[in-house]
Amino acid sequence: MNEFPIRLEDSVIASFRADGFVVTPEVLTASELDRYATAVDAEVAERTADDQRDIAEKTTYEQSFIQCMRLWETNEGVRLLSCHTGLAGIATQLLGVASVRLWQDQALYKEPGGRETTPHQDETFWPIGDEPLVSAWIPFQDVRLEHGAMAYVPGSHKAGSLRVVDITHQSEPYDILQDPALQGREPQFVEVEAGSVIWHHGMTVHQAAANTSNQTRRAFTVVYISSAARRVKEWPTYPLDREGIKVGEMMRGDGMPVLWPAPEQLPTPPELIGEKTGPQYEVPK
Ligand X SMILES: O=C(O)CCC(=O)C(=O)O
Which parts of this chain interact with ligand X (CB under 6 A)? 65, 108, 110, 117, 122, 135, 137, 148, 206, 208, 219, 221
137 vs 224 by CB, closer to ligand X:
137
Q: How near is the Cβ of 67 to ligand X at its closest, in Å?
A: 9
Q: Which residue is nearest to ligand X (CB)?
A: 208
Q: How near is the Cβ of 150 to ligand X at its closest, in Å?
A: 6
156 vs 221 by CB, closer to ligand X:
221
201 vs 262 by CB, closer to ligand X:
201
Kind and range of the H or E run holding 278: none
State how far the alpha carbon of 153 is from the alpha carbons of 21, 150, 185, 247, 284, in Å.
Answer: 9, 10, 7, 31, 36
Q: How near is the Cβ of 120 to ligand X at its closest, in Å?
A: 7
State how far the alpha carbon of 26 is from the alpha carbons of 33, 89, 194, in Å.
Answer: 11, 15, 8
219 vs 245 by CB, closer to ligand X:
219
Residue 51 contacts residue 68 (beta carbons within 8 Å): no
Alpha helices in 68-224 (DSSP H): 76-82, 85-95, 145-148
Q: How near is the Cβ of 110 to ligand X at its closest, in Å?
A: 6
Rounded Cα gap, residues 175 and 172, in angstroms: 9
Q: How near is the Cβ of 69 to ligand X at its closest, in Å?
A: 12
Strand order in the sheet with 206-208: 117-120, 206-208, 150-152, 188-190
102 vs 219 by CB, closer to ligand X:
219
